[in-house]
Amino acid sequence: MSLPRRVSVLGSTGSVGVSTLDLFERAGAEVEIVALVAGRNVERLAEQALRWRPGVAVIEDESLLPALRERLAGSGVTAAAGASAVVEAASADAQWVMSAIVGFAGLAPTLAAARAGAVVALANKESLICAGPTLLRTAKLAGGAVIPVDSEHSAIFQVFSPSNAQHVARLILTASGGPFRGWSREQMSRATPEQALAHPNWSMGAKISVDSATMMNKGLEVIEAAYLFAMPPERVDVVIHPQSIVHSLVEYADGSTLAQLGPPDMKAPIACAFAWPDRLPWPAQRLDLAKVGPLTFEEPDPERFPALRLAKDALLSGGAAPTAMNGADEIAVSAFLERRIGFLDIAGVVEETLARMDRQGLMRSDQNDPVESARAADATARRVAGEVVRGLMAPAHA
């Protein structure tokens, strides 16, 4: 088995980053860490750097460089900071790069890793949403690859053969339904950040947890799947599966449907992306179906979870719409976590931002470079979404 040896972890201090390093530890993987990259968590980054001895440890927030330097003094690990150091670290000579920075900030480093010809294990969904075709083309041209880490896309990746793509009738993404699956809209209108963050099956970062509660996460995943597997929007469906055991399915033209199953643990798709096309022997939790019990499925409710429709519409509109939707959602989720708006306002802010941008002709871009175009759409969407949030801030949320 030939496993990557020189690896980098972007977003090493987050949920996926920590799981990646934990997997290396548990599998006894003989890796040489080229770079560890974090945003602000200097304590955890320094701890990881002292354990894994990467060539470089990068903290994006430049004001934290002295603190990082102090913690790494005498260790031989180079400390660096700032957005350009993040991109530089992402392009360093690694064979395999875990892309697990959260948000639009992950786009430039992910593209840099792809341009450098690494195999990119892709958790950061925003790079696909905002520049999917460019990212995939860049990786191909550079002789690397993009292997999805999101459990749903990893599932499809494992049961989808590109040479059989013409025989695929539908991709079916499963969704747990999040913490508010059985809640009425009235109950959801009073949901707190703590309740939204309490995902029933998965332990994840704050942004994706809230996105799971609104189902915007599933909407983003529909867009990702359409790009990753070159599937038209109308052939990507979603089904609610509260147990999170079936991670997604591919339906073929003859009515045969293939699924991938496993316990809800991100280390499984990470292991798959690390060893692909081989399989990594590690002490993974095994699936005992008799113990799991009934597996159930239901239709998503578009009334209570409008984010799914917004994402499909953005995918159908194309152009800047997916990027704008993503930027608006990042602003809306932050505002909710800071208790400036209510839970149901999140989808409202996204919808109103897209409508205003459309009305004001702000979806058009005069940039030829798709990444610059995405950057412009993201910045505009953030500005407009900020205005919408301020307009919404009722005294109750202020």
Ligand X SMILES: NC(=O)c1ccc[n+]([C@@H]2O[C@H](COP(=O)([O-])OP(=O)(O)OC[C@H]3O[C@@H](n4cnc5c(N)ncnc54)[C@H](OP(=O)(O)O)[C@@H]3O)[C@@H](O)[C@H]2O)c1
3-state DSSP percent of the chain in helix, strand and coil, to 5: 50, 15, 35
One DSSP character per residue, 261-297 reads: E--S-THHHHHHHHHTTS-----PPPP-HHHH-----
| Minimum CB distance to ligand X smaller for 252 or for 282 | 282
CA dihedral 296, 298, 303, 307 (to 10 degrees): 80
Identified binder of ligand X from the candidate list 4, 7, 8, 17, rule CB under 6 A: 17
H-helix or E-strand spanning residue 34: strand 32-38
| Minimum CB distance to ligand X smaller for 221 or for 352 | 221
Contact segment (CB under 6 A) with ligand X among 33-41, 132-140, 239-247, 386-394 equals 33-41
Please, what is the minimum distance in Å from the beta carbon of residue 176 to ligand X? 12
Contact assessment for residue 10 and residue 122, using Cβ atoms and an 8 Å cutoff = no
Gap between the Cα atoms of 108 and 230, Å rounded: 22
Residue from 159, 192, 161 nearest 174 by CA: 159
Please, what is the minimum distance in Å from the beta carbon of residue 148 to ligand X? 9
Gap between the Cα atoms of 315 and 332, Å rounded: 19
Please, what is the minimum distance in Å from the beta carbon of residue 98 to ligand X? 9
Identified binder of ligand X from the candidate list 101, 107, 155, 175, rule CB under 6 A: 101
Gap between the Cα atoms of 349 and 335, Å rounded: 10
Gap between the Cα atoms of 146 and 133, Å rounded: 11
Contact segment (CB under 6 A) with ligand X among 124-132, 164-172, 227-235, 323-331 equals 124-132
- Does residue 339 interact with ligand X by CB under 6 A? no
Identified binder of ligand X from the candidate list 35, 57, 86, 389, rule CB under 6 A: 86
Identified binder of ligand X from the candidate list 168, 171, 208, 225, rule CB under 6 A: 208
- Does residue 212 interact with ligand X by CB under 6 A? no
| Minimum CB distance to ligand X smaller for 11 or for 370 | 11
- Does residue 147 interact with ligand X by CB under 6 A? no
- Does residue 125 interact with ligand X by CB under 6 A? yes
| Minimum CB distance to ligand X smaller for 228 or for 363 | 228
The CA-atom distances, in angstroms, between 353 and each of 156, 197, 221, 330, 384 are 32, 24, 20, 12, 6
- Does residue 205 interact with ligand X by CB under 6 A? yes
Identified binder of ligand X from the candidate list 21, 113, 150, 247, rule CB under 6 A: 150
